Structure 1
Amino acid sequence: MNNKKIFIKTLKKATVVSCSDIISCEADGSYVQIQTRQGAVLTACKSLTQVHKDIEVAYIIRISQSALVNVHCLTHVHYKDREVELANGKRIHYTVKKRELEGLIDNGLSVDFEDTTPI
């Protein structure tokens, strides 16, 4: 099982988060909004590229220049709208090619995931 955790520094505090608890990460200028399974939204003081390097688990995939998602939290891929839908109902636009997205999802789902409890 993969129990990887990352250290997220925000403006007011630092938090240790299990990668499996991350639902999505979205770029917001020079910051990244990280949404967790517990409903928390953390604002990290680093780029999305750096957050992705820190996470470095196959089940969190980059779907656009400004978004990462946890494949275990995906419920639908809306091809016509070019959006993925997460278990919490949030929809995020993707820009990667359809086949690339499907490959990333397949690869991510094949990885052991330590916490599959519903959101």
Structure 2
Amino acid sequence: MKAHEEHRYFVKNANQFSVVKCENILYCIADKGYTILYTTEDEKYMISKSLTKFLSEVQYPYLIRISQSVLVNIQYVKHVHNKEKCVVLKNGEKLYYTLSYGELQAQIVNLHNNRKLSQDG
């Protein structure tokens, strides 16, 4: 992804239609067939789609699945704790992962390296 590209996701429900910049999504949680988006603006959106369906539609490379019910935007990851099996976000929130520590670490490093290459190129 080039630095100037901007991904957006359109959230609609019975009462409103919202445009969410994907770069502002902190994380997503699955909840009984729904996906709940949490953003950097302290907003929360409920989408009537599974986490898998949402992830395939959004096509945002920095959102990675860390467990069956959690996606995280790696741009906001501050620490990954092996012993606690959690990811700590820059805002201090903790999200628990079920991947192996090595697999999660490799995904984060790979995406950061690809991001750096695309910005340099």
Give TM-score scaled by structure 1 length. Answer: 0.86
Q: Which runs of 5+ in 1 are unaligned?
A: 113-119
Cα RMSD over matched residues? Answer: 1.4
**Runs of 4+ residues over 4 Å off in structure 1:** none
What is the number of equivalent residue pairs in this alignment?
A: 112
Whose Rg is larger?
Answer: 2
Amino acid at match of 2:87: V
- Residue in 2 that maps onto 1:82: 85
Tell me whether 1:24 sits opposite 2:27 in the alignment.
yes
Q: Deviations over 1:73-105 (max 9, x none)?
A: 001111111010111211111011111101111
Q: Deviations over 1:39-72 (max 9, x none)?
A: 1011111100011112212211111110100111
Query: Aligned with 1:81: secondary structure?
Result: coil
2: CA distance, partners of 1:23 / 1:52: 14
Amino acid at match of 1:20: E
Indicate the percent of aligned positions where both proteins have the same amino acid: 35
Higher relative helix content: 2
The correspondence of residues 34-53 of structure 1 with structure 2, limited to 5 A, is 34-53=37-56
Tell me whether 1:60 sits opposite 2:63 in the alignment.
yes
Give TM-score scaled by structure 2 length. Answer: 0.85
Asked if the contact 1:63–1:94 (Cα under 8 Å) also holds between the matched residues in 2, the reply is yes
Query: Aligned with 1:58: secondary structure?
Result: coil
Larger relative CO (CA 8 A, sep 6+): 1 or 2?
1
Which moved further from structure 2: 66-75 or 99-108?
99-108
